[in-house]
Chains A and B, each alone.
Chain A
Amino acid sequence: MPVDSALVGRAFPAPAPLTVTEERVTAFAASLGHDSRGVPPTFPIVLAFDAMQAFLDAEQVDLHRIVHGEQRFTYERPLRIGDELRATLVVTGVRRIGGADIVATASEIRDAAGELVCTGKATLVHGGASEGEQ
């Protein structure tokens, strides 16, 4: 992966918006044993993942060489069934530690009106045999 400072500031939008359907939420919640009402708080990763995949495709990085180092979400409001959401990932930093490239990203998830719903900050670790920040 060409990890250099030129990547910083580049934006990678998900190829298309995704509608938060009851089916998607139910399957996601069930796999986590989450039985309370509402959309599980980690569901926005589904949106962020699309933008991350766009980034990996553009940089020709194999998904299986990526380890997730950190993920933090902040929410402007809860997600709702029927929301049409799209994430755009921006590379916020790159550094190299012990043979691994550490890419810091921030993905803004916006609704059809363009309002910010959630921000996901992620660290992606590429190329090292270690697990993220271990």
Chain B
Amino acid sequence: MRAGDVLPDQVFAITRGHLVSYAAASGDQNPIHQDEEVARSVGLPGVIAHGMYTLGLVGTAVATWTEGAEVVELGAKFTSPVVVPAEGAVEVVVGGTVKSVADGLVTLALSVTSEGTKVLGMPRAVVRA
């Protein structure tokens, strides 16, 4: 990988079923990620994906782009909720470019959007070259 390389977009479709599987696997059974009524009761527009689900998809994208390189940093702000419909799916698109390669580390600049809206703020991933 070289600085400036543009990585192919990766598109993920998120369903309520994914959130149920992720809740069980992660232990995060917060009902705002599964129950419409609870989500609305706390002012959300509907059931939203766990922020960590979306960041987890970034982890998946990074692993694919880098063929499983060791991750040394990964993080983001959860700036906008990803609302997951009761039926069907919502898409999340993870885009990336290689920002820098230095001292054995590759820093990726990322963009994570859903329906044209940026859902992660200042997403950052650093892997070992």
Chain A contact residues, CB within 8 Å of chain B: 24, 27-28, 30-34, 36-38, 40-42, 45-46, 49-50, 63-75, 78, 121, 123, 128-134
Contact = CB atoms under 8 A, between A and B. Distances in A.
B71 A41 contact: yes
Given A24-B25, A36-B63, A75-B72, 12 more contacts: A28-B26, A32-B60, A33-B57, A38-B63, A40-B63, A42-B59, A64-B38, A69-B78, A70-B76, A72-B74, A75-B70, A134-B80
Nearest to B60: A34
A75 B71 contact: yes
B121 to A, nearest CB: 6
A83 to B, nearest CB: 15
A132 B79 contact: yes
B44 to A, nearest CB: 7
| Interface residues of A, dominant DSSP | mixed
B77 A32 contact: no
Nearest to A123: B77
Contact-size category for B: 35 or more
A46 B78 contact: no
A27 B20 CA distance: 12
A50 B27 contact: yes
B21 A131 contact: no
B75 A72 contact: yes
